[in-house]
Amino acid sequence: MEKLICHCPRTGQPVEMTFEIDGDSLARVWSKPLRFHCPHCGGEHESKVGATYVENVLAANGRGRIRAAG
């Protein structure tokens, strides 16, 4: 079970998502878009799975938030 945290581009608030995925599946969807409904602004947003996963790992290690280019 992985917990990924995206951020609302309008408010900057975190949006937490939890899903089950193994390493092989994560590798296959790494560059795919992850679309989510934002509970903060009501909008639909998109982030890359890899960017969200890396952000989550960095946050867990106390290195803070990164921003994806684009």
pLDDT in tens, 24-40: 887 888 888 989 999 99
| Domain count within the chain | 1
User: For the CA atoms of 40, 41, 46, 52, what is the dihedral angle to 10 degrees?
Assistant: -20
Write the CA distances from 28 to 3, 53, 54, integer angstroms. Answer: 18, 13, 15
Q: How remote is the C-alpha of 47 from its chain's centroid?
A: 6
Tell me whether residue 68 is in a domain: no
- Parent domain of 14: 2-60
Give dist(CA 8, CA 44) in Å, integer: 9
Tell me whether residue 67 is in a domain: no
- Amino acid 69: pLDDT: 41
- Amino acid 70: pLDDT: 41
The mean pLDDT of 43-64, rounded to a whole number, is 74
Report percent pLDDT > 70 for the chain.
71
End-to-end CA distance of the chain: 28
More confident residue, 66 or 8: 8
Tell me whether residue 48 is in a domain: yes
Tell me whether residue 9 is in a domain: yes
Look up the pTM and report it.
0.62
Tell me whether residue 45 is in a domain: yes
